[in-house]
């Protein structure tokens, strides 16, 4: 099938999955539907992938949604929790690095592969750095994307279990009245994030810059951006497809022998971070779902999408995840490289 036909069928299948998941009151159906469709098409041999520039645009839209939600968290309350957020972020880094070191020492994975595969940074960046430093790039790619998939699936399942059947999920108004100024401000924020991310080669800036700058402008009363539901759904779809289509038959075939170990390593990392979430819930007096989403490792875009669809302390989750991403970007690669150098 030609690429246009693959995109068309993928869109139709995704729409059907999203409708079914929404009928079943599954949280984050707009992300989970494209994710499942992408996995099926990737394993089925589809060759389509979202263009990098289009995917960057999707991240900027998520960033604008983050800005609207994060604006409520900007202020003294966020600063009061900053030591806790920094401790949570540092603990996630140390847990991932320590687990990677332990698995490598036990001989589960060759060389420094486990360290790069479990590092909670950008998947593409970790694959590239692993290849530069003698790791198995194929295994690292599978470990990274499978971990993101498992984190997302676990978060959605937990949210569904804890929020119950949902009359609680609001029915989306797909065609609300549009305010020209709000839409223009949204597009300006998105354009700024995309431009900076492209010029710096720093993809995380695509949602971090609109999110942080937009939240500050909203808090000061200088802007009021809003994201139309159809635009948000398109961004969710592109992000879900990008993760799902990364699972191809050739990649999994190359790594099939290591798959049980990859799954075990991912479960161990998720379990350790979930344990930290229990402590955070007790110490910070937040509900278990909020604590779990605030501490779960990796896939900030997916976690933020899930958090906007369930009744949780959204500012707490946003603040914790943003601080973690910033610390991971600043220290994650260096820490992983340090552990990898000392494995020998």
Per-residue pLDDT, 16: 92
pLDDT in tens, 21-80: 888 767 667 878 898 899 899 888 888 889 888 988 888 888 888 787 667 656 666 677
CATH T-level fold of 3-165+181-341: Na+/H+ antiporter like fold (1.20.1530)
Per-residue pLDDT, 164: 57
Give the chain's largest Cα–Cα span: 61
Q: Which of 110, 118, 106 is nearest to 135 (CA)?
A: 110
The residue written with tokens 């332990």 in the block is: 102
Domain-wise residue ranges, the chain: 3-165+181-341
Q: How confident is the model at residue 168 (pLDDT cuts 50, 70, 90)?
A: very low
Q: How confident is the model at residue 15 (pLDDT cuts 50, 70, 90)?
A: very high
Enter the pTM of the model: 0.69
Per-residue pLDDT, 166: 44
Lowest mean pLDDT among 20-24, 240-244, 334-338: 334-338
Whether residue 282 has pLDDT greater than 70: yes
């Amino acid at each position: 099938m030609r690429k246009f036909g693959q995109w068309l069928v993928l869109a139709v299948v995704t729409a059907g999955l999203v409708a079914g998941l929404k009928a079943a009151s599954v949280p984050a159906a707009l992300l989970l539907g494209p994710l499942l469709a992408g996995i099926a098409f990737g394993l089925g041999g589809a060759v389509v992938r979202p263009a990098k520039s289009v995917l960057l645009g999707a991240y900027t839209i998520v960033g604008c949604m983050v800005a609207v939600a994060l604006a409520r968290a900007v202020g003294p309350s966020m600063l009061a929790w900053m030591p806790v957020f920094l401790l949570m972020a540092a603990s996630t880094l140390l847990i991932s690095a320590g687990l990677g070191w332990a698995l490598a020492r036990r001989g589960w994975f060759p060389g420094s592969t486990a360290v790069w595969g479990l590092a909670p940074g950008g998947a593409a960046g970790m694959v590239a750095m692993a290849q530069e430093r003698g790791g198995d790039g194929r295994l690292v790619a599978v470990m990274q994307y499978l971990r993101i998939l498992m984190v997302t699936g676990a978060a959605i399942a937990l949210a569904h279990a804890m929020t119950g059947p949902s009359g609680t999920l609001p029915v989306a108004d797909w065609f609300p009245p549009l305010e020209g100024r709000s839409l223009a401000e949204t597009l300006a924020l998105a354009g700024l994030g995309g431009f900076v991310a492209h010029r710096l080669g720093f993809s995380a800036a695509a949602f971090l810059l609109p999110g942080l700058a937009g939240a500050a402008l909203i808090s000061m009363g200088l802007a009021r951006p809003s994201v139309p539901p159809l635009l948000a759904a398109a961004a969710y779809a592109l992000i879900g497809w990008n993760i799902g289509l990364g699972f191809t038959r050739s990649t999994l075939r190359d790594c099939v022998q290591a798959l049980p170990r990859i799954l075990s390593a991912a479960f161990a990392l998720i379990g350790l971070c979930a344990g930290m979430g229990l402590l955070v819930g007790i110490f910070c007096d937040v509900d278990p779902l909020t604590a779990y989403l605030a501490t779960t490792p990796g896939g900030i875009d997916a976690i933020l999408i899930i958090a906007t669809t369930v009744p949780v302390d959204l500012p707490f989750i946003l603040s914790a995840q943003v601080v973690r991403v910033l610390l991971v970007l600043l220290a994650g690669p260096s820490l992983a490289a340090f552990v990898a150098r000392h494995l020998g």
